[in-house]
Amino acid sequence: MSASYVHLTVENKVGYIEFYNPPHNALPASQLAKLTELIDTAGSDPSIAVLVLKSGGDRTFCAGASFDELMAISNPQEGTAFFEGFANVINALRSCPKITIGRVQGKAVGGGVGLAAATDYCMATTHSELKLSELTIGIGPFVIEPAISRKIGSNAMSQLSLEATRFFSPQWAQEKGLFMKLCSSIESLDSEVKQLAEQLCNYNPEALEKLKQIFWEGTEHWSELLKKRASISGHLVLSELTKTQLKKYK
């Protein structure tokens, strides 16, 4: 695969939203906007009972934000708008009336960890290490923090964000509550995801929707909270330290 895409397919009442952007599934603003759009579309589609979020390829699940676009940001407004892309995807997953399942086949970095945490039930392979590297480039995981802390707690979030050069094992992520199940291969992961998703499709959709509302009680303020967090990142990304570090990564 060489071309970027974001698409929605439906199979046996399960909606599969898949994104891909070579080489490591780092997401530009356009793909974040498309993800938000498709999550909203799937949420209102009566033919879809359950939603699966996945990425293409057999390596990295998501490497977070596109460094090319981060380097091109020239003012706080552009910076805020870019980070609102991740905020919008997280809020779309949060407010979607359908149960969402995360399918993580490989490493998740930065915003990729936030996407996994924003799903209702997340499964991964034993190759799915995690890293929040934001501090190493002069910003922080501000937008994604609420979603991650909600899943793993503030202490684990502190460790994950402050040890910014470390990849944390998928076993650590399972122990902390981010991953519900680990699979030895992508094939077994896909089988487990399919089995759970199609099983959920047999349940009362109204019961699932009410249960999802209970899962997310107390997060109604996230629409405004994540916008404020995006403005923090949008300001910090303009620092000379960040610009220098991004050039090193490139």
- Residue 246's pLDDT is what? 86
For residue 112, what pLDDT is reported?
A: 98
Domain boundaries, the chain: 5-185
SS (H, E, C) the chain: CCCCEEEEEEECCEEEEEEECCCCCCECHHHHHHHHHHHHHHHCCCCCCEEEEEECCCCCCECCECHHHHHHCCCHHHHHHHHHHHHHHHHHHHHCCCEEEEEECCCEECHHHHHHHCCCEEEEECCCCEECCHHHHCCCCCCCHHHHHHHHCHHHHHHHHHCCCCCECHHHHHHHCCCCEEECCHHHHHHHHHHHHHHHCCCCHHHHHHHHHHHCCCCCCHHHHHHHHHHHHHHHCCCHHHHHHHHHHC
In this prediction, residue 249 carries a pLDDT of: 74
pLDDT for the residue 219: 98
Spans of the chain, pLDDT less than 50: none
Question: CATH top-level class for 5-185?
Answer: alpha beta
pLDDT tens digits, one per residue of 106-117:
999 999 999 999
Summarised one tens digit per residue, pLDDT across range 71-99 is 999 999 999 999 999 999 999 999 999 99
